[in-house]
Structure 1
Amino acid sequence: MIRSFSLSFAVFFLISVVALGQEKVTLNGYVRDVSNGEELIGVTVYIPKMSAGTVTNPYGFYSLTLPKGTYEIQFSYVGYAPQIVTVDLQGDVERNVDMLSETTVMQEVTVTDKRVDENVVSLQMSKNTLDMNRVRKLPALFGEVDIIKNIQMLPGVISAGEGTSTFYVRGGSADQNLILIDEAPIYDPSHLFGLFSVFNADVIKDSELYKGGIPSRFGGRLSSILEVRTKDGNNKKLGVTAGIGTMASRLMVEGPLVKDKASFIVSARRSYVDLFLRAANNDNLVHFYDINAKVNWKYNNNNRFFLAFYNGRDVFNFANQFGFAWGNRTATFRWNHLFNERLFSNTSVILSNFDYKLELKDPVQGLKWTSNLEELSVKEDLSYFINTNNDLTFGYHITGRRFSPGKIVPNSEASMFEELSLDHMYALDHGIYVSNQQRVSDRVTLDYGLRLSIFQNMGPSDVYLYNDPQNRTQPDPVDTLHYKAWKSVKTFVNLEPRLAARYMLQDGQSIKVSYNRMVQNTHLIASGTVPVPFNTWNPSGYYLNPQIADQVAAGYFQNFKDNMLEFSAEAYYKKMKDVTDFADNADIFFNKNLSTEFRQGKSWSYGLELMLNKKEGRFTGSASYTWSKTMRKIPGVNQGVEFPANYDRRNVVNLQGAYDYSDRWTFGATFTYSTGRPITIPEGKYQYGTYNPDIVTERNGYRLPAFHRLDLSATYSPKKNETRKWKGTWVFAIYNAYNRQNPFTVYTRVTQNKDGDITGDGYTKETRMVYLFPILPSVTYNIKF
């Protein structure tokens, strides 16, 4: 029934394509940066005569189907000089457009001061695109520009605090964010516990965060999509960019393999704290590295091929007592094919691997623990540009995953541990989608679509059966079900409708609404509220249902002072069911009976987001405020009573600003404030033999103090020496400028009671707060050839 409905839905659209596309001509092409040949994503292509237009897709392609005639086409993009191109359409025309950055002056290009108001007229809401040129002017920890830190400053996004790259979006947990680099998933975006993220700003071309109104082509997570695309490489000339920082250095090289036809880019980054420590004979060694690489080949205007790689790793070694490491590796092959002037195809084959390991080096208690998650995806995404009023997208995705939750190997013959391995788990994830963006009138635009999610938990697998899987006092299984390879253990089928609408009130004002249902079939098995690399993932299956979220959002958008100021106000409500948690005092470390620890329940979140943005002028910046509330109610957790999620921060204020004082000096500042997050603190203890367990009466019953921090930066660009080919800039930054001691976490410890035996056993338990970063100055020198 579901497959029949989806097929009929697609056939209806395809019939519409044929009917609406008759007796028209088409203008299509690519929009590129004239200096390096990079395709530009999201360029507005507007036709004043028709009061209609489109935007370039994620691959820089646009297509407009129009009646025959002569048209003025306006191309506009943030950071680039707008252009007007006159085209006589008597038949199909291919017109590629090269755009200039605003710092470049070329007399032969016509420039207009009219700029399309994307903030108001675009259909998409709950979406933020990061302008990398603007981000580079803001303060950065140790001089490393980090898009994750900037995403944590957006309305509706909550930071977990210092020491982590984790973020939470509109009441969703950290594992409910899908993070993509060149379409490949990243499962842990942190370097050095969040001091850096896996995204090297030098190589980033474009990044977008979807918080709501999520397009049908995305699936697999409940709360957000962070899509990051790397540069393709300069196909005009060789270029080198380098940076020497306080804790890490980086190098990027790009250039043509065949001018205007093929190019490459390679970027590497490494920290060197471990080198200093080794020189000082310190056994505590910590470092990270990451490498990005990409090649692309334009066979002709109808076929282009891309091959992209990422490899990043963190390694910690403490006094030769214990160590741990984690890393992400991805590879993406893409083929862009233009069937005709209206039908565009992107075919992708994607590999991703996330792994971690822990090693204890004690002769008796020594062990090596390894775990990983591997996946292979094949995606086919198609765009059919019907006419100026209808853009159709549809496609099919399939992903195979292998979950390896853990393997223990003793590291010596004297070790008390025996070799043990948890069973691998396998899954197939299918997604079929179709959507249409329709301009109903000058005031009304719609985007409606449907995604069909089919998830199969596959064999080989052994499923343990219990008399009562919720009864942790009798965890041993009573029977086992055996499934052979490729045999379906459990299949889940879900429909995910998507809808977005925009209504223009008048020039410079609009109202937008959206609804989306999201389904997630992978579950994070985490050991605590602060992300550490010892997390595993489980698929939906015999004891785990898919997590499902429904979100509605509405917003008001208005621009002021000739589009210099952008204002938005959005309210949302999100309801989630079968969210995954664990019973109080759960044992999730290498537990073969982990199914007895699972608990699933419901969660809900609602909030208001306000933002004021200034993109033009010598001073640019933004101010945002978020009020939100996130609650959970899960049987078997907190005695079944609702409780706030550990990322429930009611009030968040973020301020960002950059001022171009002169051609040589730019100053930047960021300030963030948020109410403290909830935390669970034991209220006492009891004695059971020699064991003194905690007494926890309420989940997340306390809150940490408020979090706030000010960061400052100054960028100095010396006057360029005309006799040399390179240019250098100095970046001076101060992290935590007024030395705020922001709480990272709280822990309890038992100490001997010197003033008397108050507890009856000579010991007392005290609570201590952990702080991470004091005021941290840094200097970075950047070089560009």
Structure 2
Amino acid sequence: MIRFLIVTMLLFLNVAAWSQGKATLNGYLKDGANGEVLIGVSVYIPQLKAGTTTNPYGFYSITVPPGTYDVVYSFIGYNTQTVSIALTGDVSRSIEMGAESTMMQEVEISGERVDANVVGIQMSKNTLNLGQVRKLPALFGEVDILKSVQMLPGVISAGEGTSAFFVRGGGGDQNLILMDEAPIYDASHLGGLVSVFNADVIKDSELYKGGIPARFGGRLSSILEVRTIDGNNKNFQVQGGLGTLASRLSVQGPIKQDKASFLLSGRVSNIGAYLKAADVDNGVTFYDLNGKINLKVNDKNRFFISGYLGRDKITFDDGDAGFGWGNATATFRWNHLFNERLFSNTSLIASRFDYSLEINDPAQGFKWTSDLTEVSLKNDLSYFINTNNELTFGYHLTSRRFQPARIVPSSEGSLFKRTEFEKMYALDHALFISNEQRINDQISLEYGVRLSIFQNVGPGKVYWYEDPQAADNPVRSDSSEYNRWETIKAYINLEPRLGVRYALGEDKSIKASYNRMVQNTHQMAAGTVPLPFNNWAPSGPYLKPQVADQVALGYFQNFKDNMYEGSVEVYYKDVNNVTDFADNAEILLNEDLSTEYRQGDSWAYGAEFMINKKKGKLTGMATYTWSKVMRKIDGVNQQRDADGNVYGKTYAAGYDRRNVANIIAAYDYNDKWTFGASFTYSTGRPITLPSGKYELDGYMPNTISERNGYRMPDFHHLDLSVTLNPRKNATRRFKGQWVFSVYNVYSRKNAFTIYTRTKRDDDNHVIGDGTQKEARMIYLFPVLPSVTYNIKF
């Protein structure tokens, strides 16, 4: 730790010495129409062949020798501006950029420069173009960025009807999903039919699959960072939509012109009304609420307050039974400019995820609840040293409380008794520092390190066992009581990060990256498809942190003046202490659940191919991924060798899909009609099925010969959409838009899951003596048409 601080101080001393005789230009880049800050704008000085880009908060800073220069500001969808600036000293210059005159009715912020695919150091990163996302077909007509994430190379979908995704051999719980810096622990509505992200309020979203910057941590596989719009600080604006699945309404506008603005947005499902009209006694509903206030105090201080609240509720039998889940987040953010080159973002963040299951019955009624709450304080600083170096460093502190389960009987006569499992607490500290450095015109580097310090803390009671992984029921040998904030178990890990770019010319480059990621929280899931009823647990005496090392190599090239961008990436990932449940684990209401945990090794490797057309009437992307992910954990998938010895056999992870291909396309026929299409194909995922049966006391239990020993059928479907923008929109403030979509055009019966049952005939009668079994497939969606009407004024 002392060495870390000394190195940081020396860097600052060297910077201060270098800075003598230099001039700094800084400021913010904004959309001239609504005041929204622009992320990733290119700021370039041709005379020096040097430049920079705006950070995630729209700020830029560039330090150069004094002189008069032409400064070029350029960004996709906006008119390029060239400004002559005399830098005889430090100058602050904020620029408002105007949209290009195109046949598109509005400009979508893309969050990257046009040649970022080649010139950027970062590899294994995808920025979602929301303009293109909105043109594509959507299930039930509801635009969903997580469905678009599932179409990216290196990303595997959990299957139809779920928002879960898996990245480069990692589990669904190994993705850190952030909205305005707050973690979202379950990003799904209706069990995964649609995500919690309302496209009307999203400004920018990025997925990091590898070469992850040192400021991120806490997950092994990916970071999905979603930022919401700040709110129009020039004019009031209302937009919304009425669709098959949900209705939306957003209002934004200035509190004080050019100084403060607000955003308020809501979305609610329509399914409940349809079910009621059909006289169905089941209730299904979800809602999302997003709010934001931003305030510019002066040129050096800006404050943001944002929040999200979302919930699902599903009831059966006129409300006699049901379950629900939801997320709640709040973020307070302070952007402060210490001087022309030192930028600070300080955030106070709260996040809560909970779920509940309730049965109202006099004899067997109960309510089961569980939750995870965390509060974080983060300080990230950026020091723009010069045109060749940008230093980032900071400190993050997170406190978490895990409540595994609370069970309350619904009546005094219920068979269930009041039970509350022991709460668990944790503190997560992180110090990080990294530098983005341009060595010369060919070589650029991004290198850094993250120091992770994790503490499983009290209050709490820990049971000790003679053999915690005994084949029979483990025997408690002792217990220990821990006071509040007393450390139960601590883990310290260094997480080095490195990215290298070597330019082969103006339009092509080779990139390589290495990163180590550490995850101190574990999702204890018993199934392949993530459900909201999976508990989270901290690392502690019986769970070590999961550690992943990934290396990646890629070739990147753009064609025809950056109209097309292409890439090929290969990777290898090795994971230690990956967590699973033991074979035949007792999970439900088990107060000794820690004895059912098993940890071992996982490894994954693959190749990803992508071609992306970004300009012209026809835009789109084609991707192909080949990958393999395997696991080996003692106590899981146990087999016997020829000598009768028991061992854990290597098995495919439940999300091991070897081949995945995706094609998406949008065609702007004219300013009125846009056509969209998407096609996806993947080989079936592994599944565990019974291989036989045996008789025990008159029962016929199934026998499982191998974990994930079978595969489901291949998965594929085609979706189409048509968007109509009436020409009268161009001449009036009120603008309407129709979106017509058809999901699964050729009505492919894609398996959602497969189960076994007693064999029956077409009339559902049992065949024979009832000992024969058969496999049955459940699929979700045939061909599904939908229509959505959007408004904006």
Shorter chain as denominator, the TM-score bin is: over 0.9
Match of 2:697?
689
User: Which moved further from structure 2: 689-698 or 724-733?
Assistant: 689-698
Counterpart amino acid of 1:297?
A: L
Is 2:782 the partner of 1:784? no
The correspondence for 1:748, drawn from 753, 756, 776, is 756
1:419 aligns to what? 418
Query: After the TM superposition, which residues 527-542 of structure 1 pair with which residues of structure 2 at under 5 Å, given as runs?
Result: 527-542=526-541
Deviation at 1:725, TM superposition (A): 2.5
Residue of 20, 23, 35 corresponding to 1:22: 20
Question: Which residue of 2 is the match for residue 338 of structure 1?
Answer: 337
**Cα deviation, residue 564, structure 1:** 0.7
Residue type of the alignment partner of 1:451: R
Normalized against structure 2, the TM-score is what? 0.95
* Distance in 2, Cα, partners of 1:420 & 1:722: 62
Alignment of 1:320-719 (within 5 A): 320-639=319-638, 640-719=648-727
Structure 1 residues 74-153: aligned runs within 5 Å: 74-103=72-101, 117-153=115-151
SS in 2 for 1:478: strand
- Three-state SS of the structure 2 residue aligned to 1:332 is strand
**Percent sequence identity over aligned pairs:** 64
Q: Determine the structure 2 residue equivalent to 1:59.
A: 57
CA separation of 1:542/1:376 partners in 2, compared to 1, >3 Å: closer, same or farther? same
Q: What per-residue deviation string (whole Å, max 9, x for no partner) do you get for residues 652-705 of structure 1?
A: 101010000011000000000011101111111222224433211111111101
Q: Distance in 2 between matches of 1:119 and 1:366?
A: 57
1:735 and 2:736 aligned: no
Q: Which amino acid is the alignment partner of residue 563 of structure 1? A: N
Paired position in structure 1 for 2:206 = 208
Q: Which amino acid aligns with 2:583?
A: D
SS in 2 for 1:630: strand
Deviations 1:170-203 (A, max 9, x none): 0000000000000000000001122210000000
1:656 corresponds to which letter in structure 2? I
RMSD over aligned CA atoms reads 1.8
Q: Identify the residue that residue 733 of structure 2 maps to in structure 1.
A: 725
Task: Give SS of 2:684's match.
Answer: coil
Between the aligned partners of 2:101 and 2:235, the Cα distance in structure 1 is 19
Distance apart, 1:723 and its partner CA: 7.3
Alignment of 1:223-262 (within 5 A): 223-262=221-260
> How far apart, in 2, do the equivalents of 1:690 and 1:458 lie?
48
Match of 2:349, SS state, is strand
Q: Alignment partner of 2:772: what SS?
A: strand
Deviation at 1:472, TM superposition (A): 4.2
CA distance in 2, matches of 1:168, 1:680: 19
Paired residue secondary structure (2:217): coil
From 183, 186, 196, the counterpart of 2:184: 186
What amino acid is the match of 2:176? L
| 1:724, distance to aligned residue in structure 2 (A) | 4.6
- Whether the 8 Å contact between 2:587 and 2:593 is mirrored in structure 1 is yes
In the other structure, the counterpart of 1:111 is none
Decide whether aligned partners of structure 1 residues 721 and 392 sit closer, same or farther in structure 2, where only a CA change above 3 A counts. closer
8 Å Cα contact 1:256-1:264 kept in structure 2: yes
1:76-98 CA-partner distances (Å, limit 9, x unpaired) = 22222222222121111111111
Q: Look up the equivalent residue of 1:462 and give its one-letter code.
A: K
Tell me, yes or no, if the aligned pair for 2:455 and 2:491 is still in contact at 8 Å: yes
Deviations 1:251-303 (A, max 9, x none): 00000000000000011000021123234442111010000000010001100
Q: Residue 476 of structure 1 contacts residue 593 of structure 1 at CA under 8 Å; is this kept in 2?
A: no
Counterparts of 1:118 and 1:744, CA distance in 2 = 38
User: Over residues 10-41 of structure 1, what are the superposed CA-to-partner deviations in whole Å (9 max), with x where a residue is unaligned?
Assistant: 22322332233221100000000110000011
Q: Name the counterpart of 1:271.
A: 269
Q: Distance in 1 between matches of 2:723 and 2:289?
A: 26
Describe the superposition over 1:55-90 as per-residue Cα deviations: whole angstroms up to 9, x where unpaired.
111100000000011222222222222222221211
2:762 and 2:437 mapped to 1: Cα distance? 75
Matched residues in 2 for 1:343 and 1:614: separation?
A: 37
Paired with 1:644 and 1:15, the residues of 2 have a C-alpha distance of 52
- 1:441 offset after TM fit, Å? 0.6
1:290 to 288, 291, 297: 288
| Distance of aligned partners of 1:578 and 1:722 in 2 relative to their CA distance in 1, 3 Å threshold | closer
Contact 2:516 2:549 in 1 (8 A): yes
CA apart distance, 1:133: 1.2
Q: Which runs of 5+ in 2 are unaligned?
A: 104-112, 639-647
CA shift for structure 1 position 509: 0.9
Contiguous gaps of at least 5 residues in structure 1: 106-114
Residue 104 of structure 1 and its aligned partner are, at CA, apart by 6.8
User: What CA distance in whole angstroms lies between the structure 2 residues aligned with 1:694 and 1:596?
Assistant: 24
| Cα distance in 1 between the residues matched to 2:770 and 2:96 | 77
Q: For residue 5 of structure 2, what is the amino acid of its counterpart?
A: L
Tell me how far apart the structure 2 counterparts of residues 4 and 723 of structure 1 sit (CA, whole Å). Answer: 64
8 A Cα contact 1:687 1:693, kept in partner: yes
**Contact residue 439 and residue 446 of structure 1 kept, 8 A:** yes
Please tell me the residue identity of whatever aligns with 1:546: P
| Contact 2:233–2:261 (8 Å) recurs in 1 | yes
Q: TM-score normalised to the size of structure 1?
A: 0.96
C-alpha change, 1:216 and 1:708, in structure 2 (3 Å) is same
Q: Which residue of 2 aligns with 1:69?
A: 67
Do the aligned residues in 2 keep the contact of 1:527 with 1:534 (CA within 8 Å)? no
Change (3 A) 1:734 1:20: same
Alpha-carbon distance, 1:474 to partner: 2.2
CA contact under 8 A between 1:752 and 1:763: conserved in structure 2? no
Instruction: Give the Cα–Cα distance (whole angstroms) in 1 for the partners of residues 358 and 698 of structure 2.
Output: 28
Partner of 2:773: 765
For the residues of structure 2 that align with 1:758 and 1:745, how far apart are their CA atoms? Answer: 22
CA distance change for structure 1 residues 232 and 762 in 2, over 3 Å: closer, same or farther? closer
Rate the CA distance shift 1:82–1:592 in 2: closer, same or farther, 3 A: same
SS at match of 1:763: coil
Other-structure match for 2:110: none
DSSP 3-state at the match of 1:162: coil
Distance of aligned partners of 1:590 and 1:79 in 2 relative to their CA distance in 1, 3 Å threshold: farther
Query: Is the CA contact 1:472–1:596 (under 8 Å) kept in the aligned structure 2?
Result: no
Provide Cα deviations, 1:373-418, integer angstroms capped at 9, x if missing partner.
0000000000000000110000000000000000111112221111
What is the total number of aligned residue pairs between the two structures?
773
Indicate conservation of the 8 Å contact 2:344/2:380, yes or no.
yes
Residue-by-residue CA offset, 1:569-592 (whole Å, 9 max, x unaligned):
111110000000111121222211
CA deviations over 1:352-384 (Å, ceiling 9, x no partner): 000000012333222110000000000000000
Alpha-carbon distance in structure 1 between the residues aligned to 2:516 and 2:729: 56
Which whole-Å deviations, capped at 9, do the CAs of 1:447-498 have from their partners, x for residues lacking one? 1101000000000111111111111412341211111111100000000000
Amino acid in structure 2 at the alignment position of 1:508: D
Tell me, yes or no, if the aligned pair for 1:6 and 1:452 is still in contact at 8 Å. no
Aligned-residue offset at 1:770: 0.7
